[in-house]
Amino acid sequence: MHAQFLESPVLIPGQGHAPTLHLFGGPRVVQAGRRLEVPEGSKRLLAFVALNGGRVERRYAAGVLWPLGDDLRAAGNLRSALWRLRAAGIDVLDSDKYALRVREHTVVDLYVLCDWAGRLIGGTATTGDLCALKWRADALDLLPGWYDDWVLIERERIRQRLLHALEAQSRHLVRAGRYAEAVESAMVAVGVEPLRESAQRSLIEAHLAEGNLVEALRSYDAYRRLTRRELGVEPGGELSSLLRLHCDSGRRRPRTEEAGRV
């Protein structure tokens, strides 16, 4: 999987003329290399269908997206939103009198990213999945600036999934001996959620695996200051023990070596 962060964390190469729906930094649609502007009145409909697994009943969508007024007005608003999409040349939704669905062969960046995360979390990552992505810390925000309840719930669910994937990616990279990339993946997770101890642990473990004890200690001290300031607590005992073990090992090693020379 490849990535860019001008507008979306996912760039899908080789899809030919198939349209790509971007929800990160969107919603927007790219087809045959051209960006198609999604009409303002249709953005929420497009995002709602995609976030609901690519298929949703028309009546349910209309009721959630246009809750004010009666069912007839909501249904009319839905038809108008569909018409505006087609008028803009965006043909990514199929519809009948019962349901709406994302059109077959449409690529959705969210689905691609979630599949990538699932492979990393499930331990079935490919070599390509381990490529460290050049992510900005804000890249994990789905539909930023949207505050509908149905967006907020999905945004947090996806955010947690991707954070777990980044931590898993860092661990996979450590086992592969690709320490610089492991540090980079962990730093993305830390940048997104600095108080997340599992992300901090991934970063410290990557530093230690590379033999950079000082970097690990520096990361731990920064995290400790943060938790004290923001939460009034110390980092977890497991994280402290991890560093203490390495520090003790480092102090013992020179004495052992010296004893061997005597």
Distance CA 102, CA 54 (A): 5
Which residue(s) pair with 139 in the sheet? Answer: none
The residue-averaged pLDDT of 73-102 equals 94
Name 108's Cβ contacts closer than 8 Å, sequence gap at least 6. 20, 21, 23, 50, 54, 102
Res 260: pLDDT = 41
Confidence of residue 18 (pLDDT cuts 50, 70, 90): confident
Query: 14-28, 162-176, 202-216, 221-235: which range is least confident on average?
Result: 14-28
Radius of gyration of the CA atoms of the chain, in A: 23
Give the residue ranges of DSSP H helices in the chain.
40-51, 58-65, 71-87, 109-122, 149-175, 179-192, 197-209, 213-231, 237-261
The 10s digit of each residue's pLDDT in 96-114 is 989 999 998 899 989 988 9
Q: What is the pairing mode between strands 28-31 and 55-57?
A: unpaired
Better-scored residue on pLDDT, 239 or 18: 239
Name 103's Cβ contacts closer than 8 Å, sequence gap at least 6. 19, 91, 92, 93, 94
Res 129: pLDDT = 86
Q: Which residue from 13, 10, 16, 20 is spatially nearest to 103, judged by alpha carbons?
A: 20
The 10s digit of each residue's pLDDT in 126-153 is 888 887 565 655 566 788 889 999 999 9
Confidence of residue 13 (pLDDT cuts 50, 70, 90): very low
The residue-averaged pLDDT of 170-196 equals 94
Distances (CA, A) of 133 to 110, 129, 181, 214: 15, 9, 9, 25
Q: What percent of the chain has pLDDT over 70?
A: 84
The 10s digit of each residue's pLDDT in 33-62 is 888 989 999 999 999 999 999 999 999 999
Share the mean pLDDT of the chain: 85
Distance CA 138, CA 165 (A): 16
Query: 15-29, 40-54, 119-133, 242-256: which range is least confident on average?
Result: 242-256
Q: Are 126 and 119 in contact (CB under 8 A)?
A: yes
